């Protein structure tokens, strides 16, 4: 494709590629902004909740301890997912540049019409490579963002209800068991640890269940 007409056609194709690269750049920025917004909510909430549980654990009832543990687990999962959005690779520009960053390396493309046409071909190839990379990264960012939102907006409320409700039902049906178990953190030893672990397991399990359900529902 060394004739002028072929180069013009290739430029039209490159213009379409540029639109897609611009779309990916805008999408990256929107997803990153959304992830930062959610992180300003989940991370401080997780830290505050852990501090509250540590300080007020000695007076915390069993249902509240389990529910708070489940909520903390969901907040932790969502925080990890939102933060993973920001640590992924950045969008690529699709611009072909010399590896040495020296203008002299461009001289070969300027020597003949065939070399000039080769430059346009290489530019299109670089844009296609960048598009493929950006699509992969964009899909990863979008998937992690959705998983974080699902674990936070669906998993957290459900985990609180399951954990707190189950603990409340257990305390109602087994009052004799409660008479031998302290409910405060730091006074019940391994028992409190096992109760908190139960809440964490409920939180993580609920978040994972919603994430898997959402994954398969979006694949259909």
Domain that holds residue 101: 4-219
Per-residue pLDDT of the chain in tens (220 residues, 90 and over written 9): 556 777 788 888 888 888 888 998 899 999 999 999 999 999 999 999 999 988 887 678 888 889 999 999 999 999 999 999 998 777 778 877 776 667 777 777 777 778 788 888 888 888 899 999 999 999 999 999 999 999 999 999 999 999 989 888 877 776 554 544 444 444 444 467 788 888 999 999 999 999 999 988 877 5
Using CA atoms, how far apart are residues 55 and 75, in angstroms rounded to an integer? 19
Q: What pLDDT was estimated at residue 183?
A: 45
Secondary structure (DSSP) of the chain: --SHHHHHHHHHHHHHHHHHHHHHHHHHHHHHHHHHHHHHHHHHHHHHHHHHHHHHGGG--HHHHHHHHHHHHHHHHHHHHHHHHHTSPPPP------TT--GGGGHHHHHSHHHHHHHHHHHHHHHHHHHHHHHHHHHHHHHHHHHHHHIIIIIHHHHHHHHHHHHHHHHHH-HHHHTTS--STTTSTHHHHHHHHHHHHHHHHHHHHHHHHHHHHHH-
22 alpha-carbon distance from chain centroid? 22
Structurally, the chain folds into a number of domains equal to 1
Q: What pLDDT was estimated at residue 180?
A: 42
pTM of the model: 0.82
| Tokens representing residue 26 in the block | 């805008």
Q: What pLDDT was estimated at residue 186?
A: 46
């Amino acid at each position: 494709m060394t004739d002028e007409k072929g180069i013009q056609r290739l430029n039209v194709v490159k213009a379409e590629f540029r639109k897609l690269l611009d779309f990916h750049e805008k999408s990256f920025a929107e997803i990153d902004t959304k992830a930062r917004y959610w992180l300003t909510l989940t991370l401080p909430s997780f830290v505050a909740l852990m501090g509250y549980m540590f300080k007020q654990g000695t007076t915390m009832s069993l249902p509240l301890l389990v529910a708070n543990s489940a909520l903390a687990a969901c907040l932790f999962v969502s925080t990890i997912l939102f933060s993973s959005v920001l640590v992924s690779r950045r969008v690529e520009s699709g611009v072909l540049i010399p590896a040495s960053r020296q203008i002299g390396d461009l001289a070969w493309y300027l020597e003949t019409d065939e070399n000039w046409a080769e430059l346009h071909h290489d530019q299109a190839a670089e844009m296609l490579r960048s598009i493929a990379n950006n699509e992969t990264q964009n899909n990863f960012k979008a998937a992690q963002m959705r998983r974080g939102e699902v674990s936070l907006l669906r998993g957290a409320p459900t985990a609180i209800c399951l954990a707190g409700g189950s603990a409340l039902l257990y305390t109602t049906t087994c009052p004799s068991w409660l008479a031998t178990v302290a409910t405060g953190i730091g006074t019940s030893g391994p028992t409190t640890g096992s109760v908190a672990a139960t809440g964490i397991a409920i939180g993580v399990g609920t978040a994972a269940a919603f994430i898997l359900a959402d994954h398969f529902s979006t694949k259909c």
